[in-house]
Structure 1
Amino acid sequence: MILTGPEIDLRVKSGEIDIDPFDPALLSPNSYDFHLGDTVGWYSEQRLDCARDNAFEIHTIPPEGMVLAPERIYLAATAERIGSDHFVPIIRARSSVARLGLFVHVTADLIDIGSHNHLTMQLHAVQPVRVYPNLRIGQVTFWTVQGDIVLYDGKYQGAQQAMPSQIHRDFEGR
């Protein structure tokens, strides 16, 4: 089941949900709005390789904004640290952002239980779109779990900025 906005508020106050900074004004009926951080990154090369560490660069989004082009994937972190050891967060674009043709998570919207990070969003623009630091870009929902909880302790834990793919680590030691 999905938590309602008032329940998210209660669970943040009890410490079961981690949203930092937290502003109750950003609660919706069943979600919490989050912001784009102040940096965005992209891969430096055109061809990416799953078996190696790909060159990645991070840039500050200027106050006047940055135009995202359709021909690449951008990685950017949420301004807020988000996570829970009790509920499963799922991130999505705000409908106002989606209506501009900006995908906020492409396909990786499920956040593992126990993951506490400035979440990395995979941004993809259908057409050129200008984004700004601290833009209210997406929303997070929280879902109850059934069964034994095994907390995430993976390679992206504790991220404070956008994290490029670490899939190459899956090939190490083979």
Structure 2
Amino acid sequence: MILTREKILEEIEQGRVEIDPYDPALVGPASIDLRLGGEIRTMDPGSGPIDVEEAIDYRRFSTLRKLDQPFDLVSGQTILGITLERVRLPADLCAWLEGRSRFARLGLLVHVTAGFLSPGINNRQVLEIANLSGRTLRLRAGTPVCQIILQRTEGSAVYRGRFADQSRV
């Protein structure tokens, strides 16, 4: 079951869902907007292949940058970003991260494949940001670039994987 605004606000008021920093204006009819945080990772140039395997560490192939100035995302470029907000979910709620249609219509993707937030998470969400348009898109920290849709689970579980407590991109 997808939670609507009324139920989302109840979950937040009861302390079961935490969004930090929290801005009630970002709660929509059935989602919560999340803003782009103040750091990104850009892929380092290279000519050799990257071996895609379970133990891969993306940080070896990228550079961390502060997003204190607007960043021009050129056509075809993919970077990593992170949400400003830390999201904590209880063991009986999961969430789906989606882009916002106003930006998708410009060719901006905010997640390539990793759009699921597991029950019990307590972290900032890393965004796989890509520009599919033929034009450069200018990104700024603080822009609400994505949203999460909360869904009640049948049973409870807690994610304890590799990115359980991520706070950096």
TM-score, structure 1 as length reference: 0.86
1:121 aligns with 2:121: no
Query: Which secondary structure does the structure 1 equivalent of 2:117 belong to?
Result: coil
The aligned amino acid for 2:86 is R
1:49 matched residue in structure 2:
51
Query: Which secondary structure does the structure 2 equivalent of 1:37 belong to?
Result: strand
Between the aligned partners of 2:83 and 2:118, the Cα distance in structure 1 is 16
C-alpha deviation, 1:37, in angstroms: 0.3
Query: Which secondary structure does the structure 2 equivalent of 1:12 belong to?
Result: helix
Q: What 5-or-longer segments of structure 2 have no aligned partner? A: none
Provide the aligned C-alpha RMSD in A. 1.5
C-alpha deviation, 1:45, in angstroms: 4.1
1:132 aligns with 2:140: yes
Between the aligned partners of 1:45 and 1:117, the Cα distance in structure 2 is 29
Residue of structure 2 aligned with 1:96, choices 76, 80, 102: 102
C-alpha deviation, 1:150, in angstroms: 2.1
Between the aligned partners of 1:5 and 1:32, the Cα distance in structure 2 is 9
Q: What 5-or-longer segments of structure 1 have no aligned partner? A: 163-174
1:153 matched residue in structure 2:
160
When structure 1 is superposed on structure 2, of 71-80 and 43-52 the one drifting more is: 43-52
When structure 1 is superposed on structure 2, of 80-89 and 52-61 the one drifting more is: 52-61
Between the aligned partners of 2:45 and 2:118, the Cα distance in structure 1 is 29
1:166 matched residue in structure 2:
none
Between the aligned partners of 1:143 and 1:108, the Cα distance in structure 2 is 16
> Percent identical across equivalent pairs?
28
In the TM superposition, 1:27-106 aligns within 5 A as 27-46=27-46, 47-51=49-53, 52-53=56-57, 54-63=60-69, 65-85=70-90, 86-106=92-112
C-alpha deviation, 1:73, in angstroms: 2.0
1:172 matched residue in structure 2:
none
When structure 1 is superposed on structure 2, of 44-53 and 82-91 the one drifting more is: 44-53
TM-score, structure 2 as length reference: 0.88
